[in-house]
Amino acid sequence: MRILILRPKELIDETVKRLNAEGFEAYGCPFIELEYLDFEVPEHEYAIVTSQNVARVIRERGIKLKKVIAIGKKTAEALEMDGVLLPASFDSKGIVDEFSEILRGKKVVAFRSDKGSDELRKLAEVCDYKEVIVYRTKKLHGKEQRAFTRMVESCFIDVVVFSSRSIAESFIDLCDLETLKRKKVIALGPPTAEFLIKIGLKPLIPAEYTFDGVVELLKSLKGADSLH
């Protein structure tokens, strides 16, 4: 089974190696690039860290945070901090659903990209909520991206894994949608899945919104294919 992983370049190599180690033929290509920004940290009682890339910036810049809530185990690990809180579902909705009462009346800052979903902004109804944009995303449509798009369109790739909505939007700009409708596509979480459904695709979503979850989903697909 040939898998195309669409992630920012900072995370592709480790993901491809992991999938290859699991017995898949994995490829990776970044369809966005990240422009990291300078920022100040506002006064806060809780900080929400939304991704591994955000966590890495916070760690590398030596930024000190108070109580931290992270989206995903890998994000928490990248922070290299003790006592990081995690929602049961690794997405923004999980934070809103599970932490709204804890955050009520508190000063809360979310560290995120410029293309994050609106879900976290619902916290403004219960707390003093602020956002810090850690990086901007820019679409990549160069030779490498066009080459991987052709690999999908030529039926070389069996499964395409979209790790974010912004990556999906960038990929769809180049790929023939009707061809993609004949592929298995995986969305890493509800916001990405909602976009893919909106354009007519039928994405699969892992039970856990992590690449550990993606691996388990791919194993189930591989097992199902072996029965035919």
Q: Does residue 203 contact residue 185 with C-beta atoms inside 8 Å?
A: yes
Q: Residue 88: what are its φ and ψ, rounded to 5°?
A: -65, -40
**Calpha distance 60→25 (Å, rounded):** 32
Q: Does residue 75 contact residue 49 with C-beta atoms inside 8 Å?
A: yes
Domain end residue (candidates: 96, 112, 137): 137
C-alpha dist (Å) from residue 95 to 87, 103, 115, 116: 6, 10, 18, 14
Domain end residue (candidates: 137, 154, 173): 137
Q: Residue 74: how many CB atoms within 10 A of its CB?
A: 18
pTM equals 0.87
* Tokens matching residue 21: 């180690």
Which of 17-21, 113-117, 131-135 has the least mean pLDDT? 113-117
The whole-number average pLDDT for the span 153-159 is: 93
Q: Where are the alpha helices (DSSP H) in the chain?
A: 9-21, 52-60, 73-79, 92-103, 143-153, 165-174, 177-180, 190-198, 211-226
Is the confidence at residue 226, as pLDDT, over 50? no
The predicted-structure confidence for 160-202, as pLDDT tens digits, reads as follows 999 999 999 999 999 999 999 999 999 998 999 999 999 999 9
The whole-number average pLDDT for the span 61-73 is: 95
Return the pLDDT at 227.
35
Return the pLDDT at 158.
94
Same domain for 38 and 132?
Answer: yes
Same domain for 8 and 70?
Answer: no
Is the confidence at residue 93, as pLDDT, over 70? yes
CATH number where 68 lies: 3.40.50.10090
If one counts the domains in the chain, the total is 2
Same domain for 115 and 148?
Answer: no
Domain end residue (candidates: 98, 119, 137): 137
Return the pLDDT at 224.
58
Print the domain residue range for 193: 2-31+141-226
Same domain for 119 and 96?
Answer: yes
Where is pLDDT greater, at 99 or 115?
99
Same domain for 145 and 90?
Answer: no
Same domain for 148 and 120?
Answer: no
Same domain for 106 and 66?
Answer: yes
Q: How confident is the model at residue 225 (pLDDT cuts 50, 70, 90)?
A: low
Same domain for 199 and 211?
Answer: yes
Is the confidence at residue 155, as pLDDT, over 90? no
The predicted-structure confidence for 29-58, as pLDDT tens digits, reads as follows 999 999 999 999 999 999 999 999 999 999
**Calpha distance 193→201 (Å, rounded):** 9
Same domain for 13 and 91?
Answer: no
**Selection from 117, 148, 145 nearest residue 48 by Cα:** 117
Same domain for 114 and 185?
Answer: no
**Selection from 138, 154, 169 nearest residue 9 by Cα:** 138
Same domain for 118 and 156?
Answer: no
Same domain for 82 and 111?
Answer: yes
Q: Does residue 189 contact residue 91 with C-beta atoms inside 8 Å?
A: yes
CB within 8 Å of 88: residues ≥ 6 apart: 94, 98
C-alpha dist (Å) from residue 138 to 30, 185, 195: 11, 22, 18
